[in-house]
A and B are shown apart, each in its own frame.
Chain A
């Protein structure tokens, strides 16, 4: 097995030459459901509190690379699901995902121009803004700031962006090698 599916430029412009298979709506739904399962998966102790938000990452990917395929409505409903699963205030994740979608759509033309390292910075900024929204909501509802570790999921999520980028693209890469004779 070759590892050349991992070839993504680290610095500079993203490779514009990569031609992918058309994306089916079913595949988008499947990735979002897997992200939900990854978010719900119970982890022991402190790992639970630093787990990145996979739904947010997957939403950012689809909005940045296929901006007209995922709308606000599925993102908002996934937010409601996360609110119930987390036992947080109803609408907290939904609001954060709405903000995240807005920022991602606003920035998508810009993000695709960059290489991986700069894309990570953009993704980290979007994730942190969405977490700050949730923090603000909870502070207004009377909670206390839970500590600096609160922002660990965003940083970890941004660090996982290249991995997610490549994993989502695996089924989309054409099977046949165009260079083969």
Chain B
């Protein structure tokens, strides 16, 4: 500011200098974070400061909900109990059949000298809050590095795949939902056996199956399950159901929209699949869809 009076009182650097300094510092951080992914350690450090504050601010709400839980009525408990017993009976029968099938399967696999599938371990987690960042579809769950959660693990609920763990903090971790724009899952259609990749499009409740030729054997209502070729998601988990197929000969690919199988917006409890396989060291997001997409076209 040229018109300011001579500095009778020492006031430090000028406003414009300070503003420029802090803006440049922010831009350096932004570039380091977005382009080069240099700062997970800094993020972890600050998260350790934020975490207690977050728990503290969540205290009144959790207290209120606990008091609410205390006043559940007797009749409701009875009804739930009845329902659960009934469900257990049904599940028991299914489990019996499943066990028989499993032993038979194991036997057949050994006969074929196939590699046994790795036993899956699950970590039960609860959603704490959905992320405040309006540009992404992410939620925060209450299990972190201390509980054995690692970045890259798949997250499922009782109906299907919910998403994938993307950031791990000591006590919480961040799950990117299947509906996020950057989330891709290799799938296989159950009816036709066709392989492909689903992508989130950033809206609630919709996925897109890209790079499928116009004459691909996909119909409304087809169930898509994880194909397992990526090594991240265990094979056979339901991902989505095809809800609309638009075939236009003017475009090389069909427009296929799907509805996620899991309740992506309304869940509270999830399971984190603790696979023993390690995810690739540094995933390159831009190149990932390419080869998979080509595989899908075959």
Contact = CB atoms under 8 A, between A and B. Distances in A.
**Candidate in B29, B58, B167 with the most chain A CB atoms within 10 angstroms:** B29
Chain A interface SS verdict (over half) = helix
Interface string A69-109: 00111001001110111111111101100110110011000
A37 B53 contact: yes
A98 B57 contact: no
A138 interface: yes
Contacts of B27: 91, 95
Chain B interface SS verdict (over half) = helix
Interface stretch (B42-50, B67-75, B274-282): B42-50
Interface stretch (A3-11, A111-119, A142-150, A154-162): A142-150
**Candidate in B22, B43, B131, B202 with the most chain A CB atoms within 10 angstroms:** B22
Contact of A87 (B34, B42, B133, B202): B133
Interface string B14-36: 01001101110111111011100
B60 to A, nearest CB: 8
Contacts of A137: 30
Contact of A146 (B49, B61, B134): B134
A170 to B, nearest CB: 21
B248 interface: no
A91 B26 CA distance: 5
**Candidate in B21, B22, B134, B174 with the most chain A CB atoms within 10 angstroms:** B134
Interface in A32-80: 36-38, 40-42, 48-49, 51, 71-73, 76, 79-80
Contacts of A1: none
Given A40-B57, A76-B26, A91-B33, A146 B129 contact: no
Contacts of A51: 132
Contact of A86 (B15, B18, B30, B131): B131
A159 B5 CA distance: 37
A90 to B, nearest CB: 4
B128 interface: yes
Interface string B131-175: 111111010100000000000000000000000000100000010
B39 to A, nearest CB: 5
Contacts, number: 112
B54 interface: yes
A84 B58 contact: no
A58 B254 CA distance: 51
A141 interface: yes
Contact of B181 (A42, A85, A87, A144): A144
Give the interface size class of chain B.
35 or more
B181 A99 contact: no
B202 A89 contact: no
A134 B19 CA distance: 16
Given A87-B138, A91-B29, A72 B54 contact: no
A141 B27 CA distance: 12
Contacts of B202: 144
Contacts of A99: 19, 23
B23 A95 contact: yes
Given A84-B47, A85-B50, A101 B19 contact: yes
Contacts of A73: 22
B88 interface: no
B269 interface: no
A81 B53 CA distance: 11
Contacts of B133: 86-88
A52 to B, nearest CB: 12
Contact of A42 (B23, B26, B61): B61
A51 B43 CA distance: 24
Contacts of B32: 90
Contacts of B129: 42, 48
Interface of A: 36-38, 40-42, 48-49, 51, 71-73, 76, 79-81, 83-92, 94-95, 98-99, 101-102, 105-106, 137-138, 141, 143-144, 146, 150
Given A42-B61, A98-B23, 18 more contacts: A37-B57, A40-B53, A41-B58, A49-B134, A51-B132, A72-B19, A80-B46, A84-B46, A86-B131, A87-B132, A87-B133, A88-B133, A90-B32, A90-B43, A98-B26, A102-B15, A105-B15, A141-B34
5 contacts: A40-B58, A51-B132, A141-B34, A143-B181, A146-B134
